[in-house]
Amino acid sequence: MRVPRILLAAGASGSGKTLITCGLLQVMQNRKIKTASFKCGPDYIDPMFHSKVIGTKSRNLDTFFAGEPVVRYLLEKNMEGMELAVMEGVMGYYDGVGGTTTQASAYDLARVTETPVILIVNAKGMSVSLAAYVKGFLGYRKDSQIRGVIFNQMSPMLYPRMKRLVEEELGIHVYGYVPKVEDCQIESRHLGLVMPDEVEDLQKKLKRLAQVLEDSLEIDGILKLAGSARKLPVEDLTRENPAFAFRLDHPVRIGVARDEAFCFFYEDNLQLLRDMGAKLVEFSPLREEKLPKDLDGLLLCGGYPELHARTLSENRSMCREIREALQSGLPCLAECGGFMYLHEEMEGMDGQSYPMVGYLSGKAYRTSCLNRFGYVNLQESHPVLGEELGVLPAHEFHYFDSENCGEDFLAKKPASVRNWKCIHADERRILGFPHLYYYGCPQVAAAFLRQCEKKETKRWQD
């Protein structure tokens, strides 16, 4: 696999990675270069911004969720027909699992995929110290993969002197600078950036930013750097996990809740279900009164149900449909916001509590801080979805909690002794706060679809 590729990283969150990545993607769109984008780590919102620019779904690459062969496979698979891959890093470049390792960091992804890295440096308030800052990142790991630098929030007058200083003293190329662009900022809320559709004149802002980057970055040099990336080996995934070979004998219909309230998806999760033989049928719990007909399974993912609590609650018909479907045995995977929606009550961001689906007893309520934040390894206490699933890598990121989190799995923090019980799980369902990445646990996707296939067979027999 020879894929022209670069990774944009930074020394810390808030350094401008997402904005510059989106601007660079817009530059490639303007130049009619077929570009695929990827986000390092378990992020849902940044890929939505990427997707708005490139017109197709951005993907995640995560070395905690998936082994190195799987990550390389997904890079190649999602590059089909493309000319360039642009990856956006996560947090600080070397920041990984447990806050004490580099596992699952942007550096780890660059290492696994042998991708040239451009380090974005927030230059506000610095001049000569920039050389010391960059030198530290270059020297911290011998195989840092860092091949270039971009200065963010730098004045055009200072840039030529800082470029010369860093290139002469460190021998690394500086690919340009980004001045402060006041009209291209993106606001944040409790789970990260606001949604792309909430940003006024987003396309106009991105086109404006692309014009700035064309003038201030060495775009041709960046493309040349991407083209220097080495050829990568790609292996047969079934060697990693035989569940990757699973295919349904009969197609099944999976209802997928998708609207403003339920919008956090790993696109590769959905594609793996399709590849295994599922037909995904999207519906909106906000707007539709009934579930799609003839469903064999249900997928309720995360999002912002707390922002739409009143509307979700007032749609009593949909709440009743989902509750009765689950009570009748419909297989279901629900995580985070989808899990909260299944409770008797859920607190909204307005501080009011609202009746919800009522399949699970208790209340989902808002807290003042992130709860059980980060990566976890899950181990079931009994067979789930009719099988022993083994250890499942997962992730949690939520400001809400529940009076009834479940006790069918034990979650263990990697690089830590912390653990807790969570998730409601049985032969047909996994319902809880943790997010699953199916390419890290394809046995879950396969087991879920096998339960859906039993439902499909019963439906036709009835």
Which among 413, 406, 412, 434 has a CA at the least distance from the CA of 338? 434
**CA separation for the pair 48, 318 (Å, rounded):** 27
On the CB side of 202, CA atoms within 13 Å amount to 16
Please answer whether residues 406 and 432 qualify as being in contact, where contact means their C-beta atoms are separated by less than 8 angstroms.
yes
CB 72, CB 25: distance < 8 Å: no
- Residue that the structure tokens 């499909």 belong to: 456
Residues 6+ away with beta carbon under 8 Å from 216: 156, 159, 176, 177, 178, 179
- Alpha-carbon span 122 to 133, nearest angstrom: 10
Catalytic residue status for 336: yes
Burial degree of 176 (CB within 10 A; 0-12, 13-18, 19+)? buried
**Cα-trace Rg, the chain:** 23
Identified catalytic residue from 336, 405, 422, 452: 336
C-alpha–C-alpha distance, residues 417 and 413, integer Å: 7
Give every CB contact of residue 73 below 8 A, 6+ residues apart in sequence.
234, 235, 237
Report long-range pairs for 98-104 (Cβ below 8 Å, ≥24 apart): 98/374, 98/413, 98/414, 98/415, 98/416, 99/415, 100/415, 101/415, 102/141, 103/63, 103/64, 103/414, 104/41, 104/62, 104/63, 104/64, 104/65, 104/375
Whole-angstrom distance, CA of residue 338 vs CA of residue 404: 14
Any idea which residues carry the catalytic annotation?
Answer: 336
